[in-house]
Amino acid sequence: MKRDEVERRLLEVHARLVRARQELAVAEEQLDVFVETADEARIRSLVSETPLADRDWQDAQRHVEVMTRGRDTASARVTELERVQDELLGKLVV
């Protein structure tokens, strides 16, 4: 691969990596909020012992699970882009 092409790809990967890191940060913040909400719903469920409160807690817990998968996907994307960036940097050095 020619140096110009490697540099161009490196710039593209870098831009994608910046966006992916931003998305990961947002996903982590959102997950924190969902975890806090689920914890509060769990406590309300334990205190009130009503089917409605239990259902609210289960719903909140499902949201946490979905957000966790989203955060994990964003994290994997960052890791993959970092790997590609490292490979491209290695080609520039050689």
Tell me the C-alpha to C-alpha distance, in Å, between residue 64 and each of 26, 37, 48, 85.
Answer: 14, 9, 22, 31
- pLDDT tens digits, one per residue of 66-78: 999 999 999 999 9
pLDDT band at residue 7 using 50, 70 and 90 as cut-offs: very high
The three-state (H, E, C) secondary structure of 4-38, written as one string: HHHHHHHHHHHHHHHHHHHHHHHHHHHHHHHHHHH
CATH assignment at residue 17 = 1.10.287
Number of structural domains, the chain?
Answer: 1
pTM of the model: 0.85
**pLDDT band at 80; cut points 50, 70, 90:** very high
CA distance 71 to 59: 18
Question: In which domain, by residue range, is 24 found?
Answer: 3-93
Q: Is 39 helix (H, G, I), strand (E, B) or coil?
A: helix
**φ, ψ at 49 (rounded to 5°):** 55, 40
Torsion angle of C-alpha atoms 12, 14, 20, 26, degrees rounded to 10: -130
**Residue in this structure with the two tokens 């161009």, named with its chain if needed:** 8
